[in-house]
Copies of this chain bind each other. A is one copy, B any other.
Amino acid sequence: MQKQDSKPRIIALLSGPDRPGLVAKVAGWIYERGGNVFHADQHQDGQAGIFFQRVEWDSANDPKTEAAEFAAFANNELGMTTEVALSSDRPRVAIFVSKIEHCFHDTILRFKANELPGEIATVVSNHETLGNVTKQYGLPFHHVPVSAATKAEAEKRQIEIVKEAKADLVVMARYMQVLSDDFLKDVGCPVINIHHSFLPAFAGGKPYHQAYNRGVKIIGATAHYATADLDEGPIIAQDVSRVTHRHGPQDLVRRGKDLEKNVFAQAIRWHLEHRILVYNNKTVVFD
């Protein structure tokens, strides 16, 4: 999955009504124009009658032009919804955070270590707590306080910041505010959230306390795309950890942090690598 080539690869994500010959037509188009498929994976949901494909290839031509022409071909001739990208793209990510900082640090350090293929565009918080450390990391920090009375106003300001920062993705690194339906519609890019439970179990607040009270023997974390229905968006990644009667709520919180960091990073990586397609409130992840 590594690529150190000087020339960028083209990555396309297609989805649409399934019909015979799609794989052949996509592969044929690429081959006839001198391209070389490096990776291709597809999936059919037989019940829903939908075809999904991710294809990654080296083109003999200018990658940017070729990508645009492929998109036109896939849209017009195959009837597919198509997203194309270059492996050299560096998507820009806006981090939303409150005071809880483990996902915040972990995400930033992964970007800095080139574990995540993109750039941090900006950091937005409803508290000032993490302002100084954000600046130490050399990143812009925007403090946008949020209260019930000012929420609509605050979200407008957040959207401005995201757009000025040219962010392609918003990630909620344990951001403790619910984003409104309007925000999600207007922000113009996907939003990934990390929920600190194994959804759909323990949606809502204080999930580790809920888990403790129910006496489960395994806890989890779930990364999902944010939707208007809180904690109901398409699930991208989940992980779990065993617990026993000895673990109190605070132990679950602590152990959950490790899950949250890894699951959140996994979801961000998959998104930035153009591996995720969403349909019927579910995800296809071409891992």
Residues of A within 8 A of B (CB): 1-2, 20-21, 23-25, 27-28, 30-32, 34-44, 46, 101-102, 105, 109, 113, 115, 136, 198-202, 214-218, 220, 234-240, 242, 244-248, 250-251, 254, 257-258, 262, 265, 280-285, 287
Candidates B40, B199, B201; contact of A23 at CB < 8 Å: B40
Task: Tell whether, in the assembled complex, residue A287 and residue B1 are in contact, meaning their CB atoms are under 8 Å apart.
Answer: no
Candidates B27, B215, B235, B257; contact of A214 at CB < 8 Å: B235
- Identity of the chain B residue whose Cβ is nearest the Cβ of A41 in the assembled complex: B41
Task: Tell whether, in the assembled complex, residue B24 and residue A245 are in contact, meaning their CB atoms are under 8 Å apart.
Answer: no
* 20 A/B residue pairs, CB under 8 Å, sorted by A: A20-B35, A23-B31, A24-B37, A27-B28, A28-B28, A40-B42, A115-B257, A200-B201, A200-B202, A214-B235, A215-B234, A215-B283, A217-B237, A217-B285, A218-B238, A245-B282, A245-B283, A245-B284, A258-B262, A262-B262
Task: Tell whether, in the assembled complex, residue B200 and residue A214 are in contact, meaning their CB atoms are under 8 Å apart.
Answer: yes
Say how many copies of this protein the assembly contains: 4
- Enumerate the 8 nearest inter-chain pairs by beta-carbon distance, A residue then B residue, closest first: A215-B282, A24-B27, A24-B31, A201-B201, A20-B36, A21-B31, A245-B284, A23-B27
Residues on B with C-beta less than 8 A from A198 are 198, 201, 218
Task: Tell whether, in the assembled complex, residue A287 and residue B238 are in contact, meaning their CB atoms are under 8 Å apart.
Answer: no
- Identity of the chain B residue whose Cβ is nearest the Cβ of A29 in the assembled complex: B24
Complex CA distance for A39 and B283, rounded to whole angstroms:
18
Candidates B30, B240, B245; contact of A240 at CB < 8 Å: B240
Residues on B with C-beta less than 8 A from A215 are 234-235, 280-283
Task: Tell whether, in the assembled complex, residue B238 and residue A217 are in contact, meaning their CB atoms are under 8 Å apart.
Answer: yes
Task: Tell whether, in the assembled complex, residue A238 and residue B216 are in contact, meaning their CB atoms are under 8 Å apart.
Answer: yes
Complex CA distance for A39 and B262, rounded to whole angstroms:
30
Task: Tell whether, in the assembled complex, residue B282 and residue A1 are in contact, meaning their CB atoms are under 8 Å apart.
Answer: no
Task: Tell whether, in the assembled complex, residue A244 and residue B285 are in contact, meaning their CB atoms are under 8 Å apart.
Answer: yes
- Identity of the chain B residue whose Cβ is nearest the Cβ of A217 in the assembled complex: B238
Task: Tell whether, in the assembled complex, residue B27 and residue A245 are in contact, meaning their CB atoms are under 8 Å apart.
Answer: no
CB distance from A251 to the nearest CB of B (A): 5
Residues on B with C-beta less than 8 A from A1 are 246-248, 250-251
Residues on B with C-beta less than 8 A from A246 are 1, 43, 287
Task: Tell whether, in the assembled complex, residue B245 and residue A216 are in contact, meaning their CB atoms are under 8 Å apart.
Answer: no
- Identity of the chain B residue whose Cβ is nearest the Cβ of A101 in the assembled complex: B113
Complex CA distance for A87 and B176, rounded to whole angstroms:
32
CB distance from A212 to the nearest CB of B (A): 9
